[in-house]
């Protein structure tokens, strides 16, 4: 496999993480969930009692260790919000940029996040923008966190939180969440994870780097 870089961007709980893991496994490529970088920065800021919105978090970003990304407390609701807030700080994004580029330098990668196709790898070989309605994303996130279906009230609360985070991610001045012009849109509302993977594999198979390899 030639070093292929696949960028997968999209809003919270759209299914990009699930797709990225499966795609990387199928293609034998390294995978980086870039959201974990921002989650780890947010988590460490909370542990240090600092304000994720008002305090500069770039020192935390600069000293992130690989073990910080393996913490088991990164996927909690308070960290969802903390991650979004530190991710809106330009100095934090700058501190994490080279680390993300280095990750893919040797062997290519599947990278998922918000700005991979627009800022981290604007020249990525393949760009996918994975999205779903806020309702579907709220249901999925609830099932992921609790293992069972939410009530109507729980859906509406989670939907409001997801929409608030979408707003912070899309409205920030630096590297906002947006679909790159050349990204292929995959709407996952009515697709199973296997169907999303099949669609992505089909897109990858038609890429010139892959067809040249199979000749």
Question: From the annotation, which residues make up the binding site for ATP?
Answer: 10-18
> In whole angstroms, how close is the CB of 74 to ligand CDP at the nearest point?
8
> In whole angstroms, how close is the CB of 35 to ligand CDP at the nearest point?
2
> In whole angstroms, how close is the CB of 24 to ligand CDP at the nearest point?
15
Nearer to ligand CDP by C-beta: 127 or 165? 165
Nearer to ligand CDP by C-beta: 64 or 209? 64
Nearer to ligand CDP by C-beta: 113 or 150? 113
What is the distance between the alpha carbons of residues 20 and 18, in angstroms, rounded to a whole number? 6
* Residue 161: Cβ-neighbour burial (10 angstroms; 0-12, 13-18, 19+): middle
Annotated binding site: 10-18
Nearer to ligand CDP by C-beta: 114 or 127? 114
Shortest CA distance to 185 belongs to which of 133, 137, 130?
Answer: 130
Applying CB under 6 A, the residues found at the interface with ligand CDP are 12-13, 17, 34-35, 38-39, 83-84, 87, 113-116, 165, 169
> In whole angstroms, how close is the CB of 93 to ligand CDP at the nearest point?
7
């Amino acid at each position: 496999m030639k070093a292929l870089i696949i960028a997968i961007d999209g809003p919270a709980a759209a299914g990009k993480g699930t797709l990225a893991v499966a795609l990387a496994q199928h293609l034998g490529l390294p995978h980086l969930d870039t959201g974990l970088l921002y989650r780890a920065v947010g988590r460490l800021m909370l542990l240090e009692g600092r304000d994720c919105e008002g305090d500069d978090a770039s020192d935390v970003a600069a000293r992130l260790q690989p073990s910080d990304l393996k913490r088991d407390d990164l996927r909690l609701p308070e960290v969802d919000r903390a991650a979004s807030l530190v991710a809106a700080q330009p100095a934090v994004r700058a501190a994490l940029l080279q680390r993300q580029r280095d990750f893919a330098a040797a062997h290519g990668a599947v990278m998922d996040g918000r700005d991979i196709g627009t800022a981290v790898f604007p020249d990525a070989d393949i760009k996918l923008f994975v999205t779903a309605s806020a309702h579907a994303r709220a249901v999925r996130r609830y099932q992921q966190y609790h293992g069972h279906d939410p009530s109507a009230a729980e859906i509406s609360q989670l939907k409001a939180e997801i929409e608030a985070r979408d707003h912070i991610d899309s409205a920030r001045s630096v590297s906002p969440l947006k679909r790159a012009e050349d990204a292929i849109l995959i709407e996952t509302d009515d697709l199973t994870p296997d169907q999303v993977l099949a669609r992505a594999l089909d897109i990858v198979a038609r890429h010139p780097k892959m067809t040249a390899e199979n000749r």
